[in-house]
Amino acid sequence: MRAGQIYLIIAIVLFGISFLKDKQRSKEALKATFKIFYVVLPVLVFVFVLMGLIEAYVSRETIVSILGQKSGILGILYAEIVGCIALFLPPAVFPFGGYLLKNGASYGSIAGFVFTAILIGVTTLPLEFKLLGKRFTVFRNIFTFVLAFFIALLMEVILG
Amino acid sequence: MKKLLKNDAFQFLSLSILIILVVYGLNAAKGMIVARAVYVTFIEVLDIVVAVSIFIGLFQVWVKPPTIVKWLGKGSGLKGFILVCTFPILMGGSLFTVFPLLKTLREKGARPGAIASFITAWGGKAPLLPLETKFLGWPFALVRLGFVIIFAFLMGILMDWVGEKPAKL
């Protein structure tokens, strides 16, 4: 059985338990599920198109030279910058990362990309600014970028 | 019609189709590569995405923001700090949904370090493990998850270190 089917069965069982415990809440959960699916799926399709474009137009050698093991520290930095400006929803981060990995990017680069893609968003900066303050926003994003770099480096050492 | 054009889902899907058509028009072979990549990946992830959406939907109704705020409190003390560095790993959502919750936490008196730890731990994204392991493998996912907790701890320490000083920026 494929992993996806197993997850689906687990999800359905959990939903069944939830339904037995509280019907009203489970209806809400179903609504939330549809909403998430509806928001995430089009973004995923769009990211798959980007992956297809890379496959069609960018050679493996190019990816290896920018994000591969030999590009080392710079590769991680490039990947982090891409992560910062990528407008991905978190669920789209992993397929894209996996795609780059398959095509020669290093584990360190992928880790840098994943961290900044999830934790730093150019599009969410104004909201963070407004809700959590200027000082907090500036320091949090700087520290996140720097720590993500060192952790990515460690992950490259461990997994690479 | 206007409403449809402003709809995010519609925009992403129509832009996707447009790109495929343009590429196909320029070079049919390359267009097929793109279309095939989209189709193959889509089929591969569809059941995972459905499962993940159910997980996150269930989590959202069973663990509501007021509950989270109550559990985490100010995120102070060692127990609070550990909780704030680990619990958010279980949550779904994007930064857009997390920031408003954090504002509430902050208003309840959570320190900047606790808020920063929360965001970082939230980046652990356990609900997305099915996707992460599928595309990046279990070793990557587990090592990353371990580092997320360390990352969250360090962020908390660093942000508390700079956070309390008067704003000069």
Quick: pLDDT tens for B119-162.
999 999 999 999 999 999 999 999 999 999 999 999 999 998 88
d(CA A150, CA A4): 33
Say if residue A30 is in the same domain as residue A67: no
Tell whether A71 and A119 lie within a shared domain: yes
The last residue of a domain, from among B25, B53, B81: B53
B105 located within any domain: yes
Copy the structure tokens of residue B165.
């000083």
Please, which residues have CB within 8 angstroms of residue B123's CB and are 6 or more apart in sequence?
A115, A118, A119, B148, B151
Nearest to A9 by CA among B92, B54, B138, B60: B54
Q: Please report whether residue B107 resides in a domain.
A: yes
ipTM greater than 0.90, yes or no?
A: no
Cβ under 8 Å to B: A residues 110-139: 110-111, 114-115, 118-119, 121, 124, 127-128, 131-136, 138-139
Give yes or no: residues A145 and A159 share one domain: yes
Q: Does B30 touch chain A (CB under 8 A)?
A: yes
pLDDT band at residue B72 using 50, 70 and 90 as cut-offs? confident
Residue B168 has pLDDT above 60, yes or no: no
State how far the Cα of B12 lies from the Cα of A135, in Å rounded to an integer: 34
The domain in which residue A92 lies consists of 62-160
Residue A90 has pLDDT above 80, yes or no: yes
* From A130-144, B5-19, B44-58, B60-74, the region with the lowest mean pLDDT: B60-74
Whether residue B167 is predicted with pLDDT greater than 80 in this model: the reply is no
How many angstroms separate the CA of residue B49 from the nearest CA in chain A?
7
Domain count, chain B: 2
Report the predicted TM-score, pTM, of the whole model to 2 decimal places. Answer: 0.87
- A78 and A32, same structural domain? no
Same structural domain, A100 and A151 = yes
- Residue B42, domain extent: 1-53
Same domain as B89, residue B34: no
Question: For residue B75, is pLDDT > 70?
Answer: no
Q: State pLDDT tens for residues B2-33.
A: 677 777 888 889 999 999 999 999 999 999 99
- Domain closes at, from B53, B77, B94: B53
B22 lies within 8 A of chain A by CB: no
Q: Are residues B48 and B67 in the same domain?
A: no
Same domain? For A4 and A29 the reply is yes
* Pair (B23, B102) in one structural domain: no
Quote the number of domains for chain A: 2
> Which residues are within 8 A (CB) of A10 and not within 5 positions of it... i.e. 6 or more apart?
B51
In a domain, B168, yes or no: no
Q: For chain B, give the mean pLDDT.
A: 86
Residues of chain B in contact with residue A99, where contact means CB-CB under 8 angstroms, are 135
B136 in a structural domain: yes
Which tokens hold the place of A110?
Answer: 């992928």
- What pLDDT, on a 0 to 100 scale, did the predictor assign at position B1? 62
Looking at residue B39, its pLDDT comes to 92
